[in-house]
Amino acid sequence: MNMLLDLFLTFAKVGVMTFGGGYAMLPILQRELVENKHWAAEEELVDYFAIGQCTPGVIAVNTATFVGQKFKGIVGGIVATLGVVFPSLVIISLLAGVISAFSHLQWVQHAFGGIRICVCILICNAVVKLYKKAVVDKITLVVFLLVALGAYFLSVSPVLFVVLSAVIGIAVKNWGVRK
């Protein structure tokens, strides 16, 4: 029961500290799951993010489900998922009634502008940390650059990039084993 409570509270902390959506949660998830709780290795968290990106839903919710299930099965996955969404549910419910009354105020608009800038930096920090763990050789650098360019210039589903990257990873690994 302690682990279930710990899962809920940890992911509630992630949920309450996040502004800007799923990608803004990445650095907070990394700090909580890898550095503070040691529930996942850096590489494992990157895998959760990749799988979470390919499955329906918010990446942080999917990651919470994966981690909760890892430690406490289906019940753990449900508890961790509830933990990450509970703060947003409460905050949004409270704000929904008053946001339209204050959204026209200049200081509210400026506050949201500042929050958007902060979220951009949080996302950049998460990308840099993930890059350092994911791009480890020339092959992974080439895949990174191809996916980055493809994502920028092509209008295709991100799932396609993930699947193609997985195929390339399997092919390269099998080619290296055969050599």
pLDDT digits (tens, 9 = 90+) for 112-130: 889 889 888 878 887 888 8
Percent share of the chain, pLDDT over 90: 34
What is the tens place of the pLDDT at every residue in 48-58? Answer: 888 877 777 78
The predicted structure's pLDDT at residue 95: 80
Domain locations in the chain?
Answer: 2-134, 135-179
Q: Determine the average pLDDT of the residues in 21-36.
A: 82
Binning pLDDT at 50, 70 and 90, where does residue 1 land? Answer: low
Q: What confidence category does residue 9 fall into, taking pLDDT thresholds of 50, 70 and 90?
A: very high
pTM above 0.85?
no
Degrees to nearest 5, angle at CA 133 with 131 and 136: 90
The CA-CA-CA angle for residues 121, 126, 127, to 5°, reads 95
**Which distant-in-sequence residues (6+ apart) come within 8 Å of 98 by Cβ?**
none
